[in-house]
Amino acid sequence: MRSRAVLALLAMMAAAAHDVASLDTDMPTNSHPGRIAVVGGGVAGCAAAILLCAQGHQVTLFEAVADPRPVGAGLLLQPTGQAILRRLGLLDEVLAHGAPVQRLFGDNARGRTVLDLDYGRFAPGCFGLGIQRGTLFGLLWRRMLAAGTTVRLATSVEGFAQDDAGVTLAGAGGVELGRFDALILANGSFSSLRAGMQVQQAQAPFPWGALWAVLPAPPGFAPVELRQRFRSAREMVGLMPVGRALDAPTGEPRGINFFWSLPLADVPAWQAGGLPAWKARVEALMPMSAPLLESITAPGQLRVARYADVSMQRWHDRRVLAIGDAAHGMSPQLGQGANMALIDAWVLAHCVRTARTPRGVAWNDAFAGWSDERRPHLRFYQRSSVALTPLFQSHGRVAPLLRDLFFGLPGRWSWVHQHSVAALAGLKTGWLSGRIDLARYDPPAAAPP
């Protein structure tokens, strides 16, 4: 198991040793570029725009807000996501801003180990990377603009209509926003446009969310890995290093991502209860968080994160494709949102490239191919997320008890540990076997002169 994991990771990273300039060796020969609309400027939308522009397509990205800003919680980039960023030519900058995470450790309020997952034990040189979401957004946004994407800000796409020849977008009041060969929905779990796809689908908002903030590490605060503590499944507090913000001044303290789990229905009571009482609860569960909490002086410093479970029978409808959270939003238990978005974009570029004909891209085939390629990987993580959520965010008693009894086993049993970290790293496509092979989706090597 260990040798297979090492070989897979080495192959994945070696195959990624080229930047965006070499993403598609046939880029100059694209005599029939497609006109592609992308709705949503998050990780999935930006990455897709970069890669499709690299193939010579004309990409227009629609973003509802007038001034997109790099804001958001910290996230953990897995080896799979890192491999895609290397292929995009962005990994060096991401590494310079982020913070390596070698271990995920969690225990309960009584000190019993619940999670103990070590990337280095899984495969030498393997690690997660904590980074501020705003930093990743900013780097992708800049690269997207440099790639030649046309961006339409403060433009809300309210609907679309498609026929055999293309897709027409409509804005507020039914105003036509343009005619395109294909439409990519990348506007998040709560996308209203997804309902316009003739695909069986469901969206179920999670009753639980989280309070989060990126806090400056106070002087003398010990470096942390990804550290969590649980009281049953009712309370969870976590810390994760996320490096520095994009364009941060020299000497700015490193950032620590802080999060606190709670039911969304309890947010008003939390706001009314005052910070001192809440801080006392947090510190009682995780005393080491006390120095960090001193920098929280107003409730507005904490943002409320909301999630939804999005399931679709397939992710395409003729010339329309959903990617990222718009396609497969899930709870944050496995921390795969950004990684899945990056992989979605990379596989999309492959499917569009392989569906090219002398008359242009066969969009129906490209998007149907994407659904086929992504299905094993996405289904595994969607099902895993559904299974894990009650163990960490619920009022249940039995589920967290079983978690506390059995989830510490990966730290002691090598076989279980390897499978657990493979899941965390974003590699698995099945419960007992199956690994995603990102190199399958790389462009063909340039022909020798």
What tens digit of pLDDT does each residue of 63-79 get?
A: 999 998 756 679 999 99
Check residue 29 and give its pLDDT: 52
Per-residue pLDDT, averaged over 113-130, amounts to 95
d(CA 222, CA 220): 6
Domain ranges of the chain: 2-104+126-206+308-441, 209-305
281, amino acid identity = R
What tens digit of pLDDT does each residue of 163-179 get?
A: 999 999 999 999 999 99
The confidence band for 20, taking pLDDT boundaries of 50, 70 and 90, is: very low
Backbone angles phi, psi at 374, to 5 degrees: -85, -15
CATH match of 2-104+126-206+308-441 with 3.10.20.30: no
d(CA 323, CA 344): 6
Check residue 5 and give its pLDDT: 45
Per-residue pLDDT, averaged over 102-125, amounts to 95
Give the sign of the dihedral formed by CA 197, CA 80, CA 244, CA 90. negative
d(CA 17, CA 89): 9
d(CA 295, CA 72): 18
Check residue 334 and give its pLDDT: 87
d(CA 398, CA 185): 39
Per-residue pLDDT, averaged over 384-395, amounts to 95
Per cent of the chain over pLDDT 90 is 83
80, amino acid identity = T
Per-residue pLDDT, averaged over 282-306, amounts to 96
What tens digit of pLDDT does each residue of 130-171 get?
A: 999 999 999 999 999 999 999 999 999 999 999 999 999 999
Check residue 432 and give its pLDDT: 87
d(CA 155, CA 33): 24
What tens digit of pLDDT does each residue of 398-443 get?
A: 999 999 988 887 667 888 899 999 999 999 999 888 999 999 999 9
d(CA 176, CA 159): 10
Cα dihedral 68, 71, 76, 82 in deg (nearest 10): 30
Length of the chain measured in residues: 449
- Domain 209-305 carries which CATH code? 3.30.9.10
Candidates 366, 382, 438, 411; CA nearest to 114 is 411
What is the DSSP pairing of strand 182-185 with strand 320-322? parallel
Q: What is the 3-state secondary structure (H, E, C) of the chain?
A: CHHHHHHHHHHHHHHCCCCHHHCCCCHHHCCCCCEEEEECCCHHHHHHHHHHHHCCCEEEEECCCCCCCCCCCEEEECHHHHHHHHHCCCHHHHHHHCEEECEEEEEECCCCEEEEEEHHHHCCCCCEEEEEHHHHHHHHHHHHHHHCCEEECCCCCCEEEECCCCEEEECHHHCEEEEECEEEECCCCCCCHHHHCCCCEEEEECCEEEEEEEEECCCCCCCCCEEEEEECCCEEEEEEEEECCCCCCCCCCCEEEEEEEEEHHHHHHHHHHCHHHHHHHHHHHCHHHHHHHCCCCCHHHCEEECCEEEEECCCEECCEEECCHHHHCCCHHHCCHHHHHHHHHHHHHHHHHHCEECCEECHHHHHHHHHHHHHHHHHHHHHHHHHHHHHHCCCCCHHHHHHHHHCCHHHCCHHHHHHHHHHHCCCECCCCCCECCHHHHCCCCCCCC
d(CA 123, CA 24): 30
Per-residue pLDDT, averaged over 22-28, amounts to 48
What tens digit of pLDDT does each residue of 344-387 get?
A: 999 999 999 999 999 999 999 999 999 999 999 999 999 999 99
Distances (CA, A) of 399 to 164, 229, 402, 405, 419: 49, 16, 5, 10, 21
**How high is the mean pLDDT of the chain?**
91
Per-residue pLDDT, averaged over 72-93, amounts to 95
Q: Which residues contact 54 (CB under 8 A, 6 or more apart)?
A: 20, 23, 24, 27, 147, 349
The confidence band for 322, taking pLDDT boundaries of 50, 70 and 90, is: very high
d(CA 153, CA 164): 28
Q: Please give the distance of CA 445 from its chain centroid, rounded to a whole number.
A: 28
What tens digit of pLDDT does each residue of 228-272 get?
A: 999 999 999 999 999 999 988 888 899 999 999 999 999 999 999
Per-residue pLDDT, averaged over 10-22, amounts to 46
